């Protein structure tokens, strides 16, 4: 495995064991919440229900509750995890949380675009972007019906546009 594609696993993040336990508890809580409350990414042909959006403070509260921690400790753990993932991505590393997903950095090629106000062509420079690939467990917990008609796992059965 090359240096810039090295995977970081939860145990390799250098976190204290209680933070690792907290993260694992959070991931389990997230999976169960997705199943119970139907929180999921919404296909483009569905209306977005505002109740499905969870902000950072709500996430911290839920993690603190499920892991039996104070909100301050839960917020500190969440900040530590996010900072560690950000630093790894800044170093062109891939962060893999087995069952949850993988964060990686890819390069978007330079291209020609158009200024929407003037219609004039502009050159858009090459840049690095973050990509997230969903893990199997998370995918299965979100898509309850894996063989639905539209292929996205939703309950409508609408066909995907090609």
State the average pLDDT for the chain.
76
pLDDT tens readout for residues 7-24: 455 555 666 666 666 677
* Whole-number pLDDT of residue 122: 94
Residue 102: helix, strand or coil by DSSP? strand
Q: Quote the CA–CA distance of 117 and 115 in Å, as a whole number.
A: 6
Query: Who has greater pLDDT, 63 or 140?
Result: 63
Percent of the chain's residues with pLDDT above 90: 46
**Angle value at C-alpha 63, between 59 and 68, nearest 5 degrees:** 150
Spatial contact of 29 and 60, defined as CB atoms under 8 Å apart: no
Sequence ranges of the domains in the chain: 3-102+131-142
pLDDT tens readout for residues 111-133: 999 999 999 999 999 999 999 99
Return the half-sphere exposure (C-beta side, CA atoms, 13 A cut-off) of residue 83: 8
Alpha helices in the chain, H assignment, sequence order: 17-37, 56-67, 71-90, 136-142
pTM: 0.56
Residue 17: helix, strand or coil by DSSP? helix
- What mean pLDDT is predicted for residues 93-100? 93
Confidence class for position 140, pLDDT limits 50, 70, 90: confident
Spatial contact of 85 and 131, defined as CB atoms under 8 Å apart: no
């Amino acid at each position: 495995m090359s240096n810039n594609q090295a995977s970081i696993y939860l145990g390799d993040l250098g976190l204290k064991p209680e933070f690792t336990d907290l993260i694992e508890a959070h991931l389990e809580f997230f999976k169960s919440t997705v199943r119970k409350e139907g929180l999921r990414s919404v296909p483009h042909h569905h209306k977005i229900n505002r109740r499905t959006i969870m902000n950072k403070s709500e996430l911290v509260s839920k993690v603190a509750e499920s892991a039996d921690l104070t909100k301050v400790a839960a917020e500190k753990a969440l900040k530590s995890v996010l900072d560690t993932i950000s630093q790894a991505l800044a170093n062109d590393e891939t962060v893999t949380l087995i069952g949850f997903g993988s964060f990686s950095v890819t390069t978007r090629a330079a291209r020609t675009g158009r200024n929407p106000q003037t219609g004039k062509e502009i050159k858009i420079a090459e840049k690095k972007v973050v990509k997230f690939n969903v893990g199997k467990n998370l995918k299965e917990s979100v898509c309850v019906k894996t063989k639905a008609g539209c292929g996205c796992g939703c309950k409508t059965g609408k066909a995907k546009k090609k």
